[in-house]
């Protein structure tokens, strides 16, 4: 790829992003980059492909300059979800492997970039991603025999590792919770059974107020979007089939 300026890189990123989210057509994007930013059409196409591969975690073969790669990775970090960021990093590592085995060389500057963003992602673990990872690793462990597993347990460090995670929590309206509990009056609104126990601190029936459409998915914190559940029903709604 020919030497490109910072302005061209930034434009190529924006255009690739708009093509990926289907705001503009690929051909329009290439025209724009070529006419307005004087990027040659082949390079424009390479940027667009590369971006798509980053988003989807797939290997790309054409090399980007390290400054362009750095710009793409840092923009993806600010613009996209952790899943997309992980895809981008996987794609980059696949690209490095391809490049190193194909050209029998060390892609040092690319490795430096990949390692930098890997650290960022590790520090960006969320409570959710930790639980997801645990569920996956448990599924893997279940494939072992009990004998193999017990050996692994014996060889493991018994002191649990501590990690710092960041999480987004929604500040819920206490009046919505209270009114929903008041309406439920000690009975699960799903299975209609009595709350399984009373809270030790005040002897009130233990029910959990759940959002039918989760706040994280755009649900509103209003009475109509809530339901008071026993812990069993609540777990089932979150984890059942
Ligand atoms: Zn229930
Ligand atoms: Zn819930």
Q: What is the H or E stretch that residue 135 is in?
A: helix 127-142
What ligand is nearest to the CA atom of residue 234?
Answer: 2
DSSP class of residue 213 equals: S
Mean pLDDT of the 122-145 span = 84
Residue spans per domain, the chain: 6-123, 125-168, 174-239
Reference 221, options 178, 176, 188, 187; nearest CA is: 176
208 in Cβ contact with 231 (< 8 Å): yes
Query: What is the chain's alpha carbon radius of gyration, rounded to the nearest angstrom?
Result: 25
What local confidence, expressed as pLDDT, does residue 167 receive? 67
Four-CA torsion 216, 220, 221, 227, nearest 10 degrees: -90
**DSSP sequence for 48-72:** HHHHHHHHHT----S---HHHHHHH
What local confidence, expressed as pLDDT, does residue 2 receive? 55
Give the CA distances from residue 89 to residues 59, 64, 75, 92, 132, in Å, rounded to whole numbers and listed in that order. 10, 14, 13, 5, 19
* Helix, strand, coil abundance in the chain, percent, nearest 5: 60, 5, 35
Mean pLDDT of the 125-137 span = 80
What ligand is nearest to the CA atom of residue 239?
Answer: 2
What local confidence, expressed as pLDDT, does residue 95 receive? 96
Name, in order, each residue with C-beta under 8 angstroms of 126's C-beta and a sequence gap of 6 or more.
Answer: 82, 165, 166, 167, 168
Name, in order, each residue with C-beta under 8 angstroms of 196's C-beta and a sequence gap of 6 or more.
Answer: 206, 230, 231, 232
How remote is the CA of residue 178 from the centroid of ligand 2, in Å?
15
Span of 115-119, 122-126, 190-194, 237-241 with lowest mean pLDDT: 122-126
* Architecture category of domain 174-239 in CATH: 3-Layer(aba) Sandwich (3.40)
How remote is the CA of residue 175 from the centroid of ligand 1, in Å?
22
Tokens of 162: 């501590």
How remote is the CA of residue 176 from the centroid of ligand 2, in Å?
14
How remote is the CA of residue 89 from the centroid of ligand 1, in Å?
42
Is the per-residue pLDDT at 118 higher than 90? no
Span of 73-82, 114-123, 188-197 with lowest mean pLDDT: 114-123
Mean pLDDT of the 131-147 span = 91
Percent of the chain surpassing pLDDT 70? 96
DSSP class of residue 39 equals: -
How remote is the CA of residue 93 from the centroid of ligand 2, in Å?
37
What local confidence, expressed as pLDDT, does residue 241 receive? 84
How remote is the CA of residue 195 from the centroid of ligand 2, in Å?
16
Reference 183, options 141, 230, 226, 216; nearest CA is: 226
127 in Cβ contact with 167 (< 8 Å): yes
Is the per-residue pLDDT at 70 higher than 60? yes
Is the per-residue pLDDT at 81 higher than 70? yes
What local confidence, expressed as pLDDT, does residue 166 receive? 67
Mean pLDDT of the 66-92 span = 91
pLDDT tens digits for range 149-195? 999 999 988 888 777 676 677 889 999 999 999 999 999 999 999 99
Mean pLDDT of the 220-238 span = 95
Q: With bands split at pLDDT 50, 70 and 90, how would you rate the model's confidence at 217? A: confident
How remote is the CA of residue 6 from the centroid of ligand 1, in Å?
58
How remote is the CA of residue 209 from the centroid of ligand 2, in Å?
7
- 220 vs 78, residue with greater confidence: 220
Is the per-residue pLDDT at 137 higher than 80? yes
What local confidence, expressed as pLDDT, does residue 33 receive? 97
For residues 16 and 84, give the distance between their C-alpha atoms in angstroms, rounded to a whole number. Answer: 15
pLDDT tens digits for range 30-67? 999 999 999 999 999 999 999 999 999 999 999 889 99
pLDDT averaged over the chain? Answer: 91
How remote is the CA of residue 137 from the centroid of ligand 1, in Å?
30
Contacts 24+ apart (CB under 8 A), 198-205: none
Count CA atoms within 13 Å of residue 4 on its CB side. 30
For residues 119 and 177, give the distance between their C-alpha atoms in angstroms, rounded to a whole number. Answer: 39
């Amino acid at each position: 790829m020919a030497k490109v300026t910072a302005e061209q890189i930034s434009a190529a990123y924006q255009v690739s992003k708009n093509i990926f989210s289907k705001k503009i057509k690929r051909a329009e994007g290439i025209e724009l980059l070529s006419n307005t930013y004087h990027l040659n059409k082949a390079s424009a196409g390479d940027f667009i492909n590369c971006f798509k591969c980053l988003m989807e975690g797939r290997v790309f073969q054409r090399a980007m300059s390290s400054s362009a790669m750095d710009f793409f990775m840092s923009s993806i970090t600010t613009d996209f979800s952790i899943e997309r960021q992980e895809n981008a990093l996987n794609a980059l590592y696949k690209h490095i492997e391809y490049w190193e085995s194909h050209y029998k060389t060390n892609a040092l500057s690319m490795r430096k970039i990949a390692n930098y963003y890997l650290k960022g992602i590790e520090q960006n673990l969320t409570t959710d991603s930790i639980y997801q990872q645990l569920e996956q690793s448990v599924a893997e462990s279940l494939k072992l025999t009990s004998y193999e597993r017990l050996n692994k347990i014996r060889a493991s460090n018994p002191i649990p590792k501590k990690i710092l995670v960041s999480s987004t929590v929604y500040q819920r309206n206490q009046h919505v919770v209270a009114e929903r509990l008041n309406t439920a009056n000690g009975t699960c609104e799903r299975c209609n059974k009595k709350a399984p126990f009373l809270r030790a601190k005040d002897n009130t029936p233990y029910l959990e107020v759940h959002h039918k459409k989760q706040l994280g998915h755009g649900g509103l914190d209003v009475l109509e979007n809530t339901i008071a559940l026993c812990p069993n029903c609540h777990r089932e709604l979150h984890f059942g089939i």
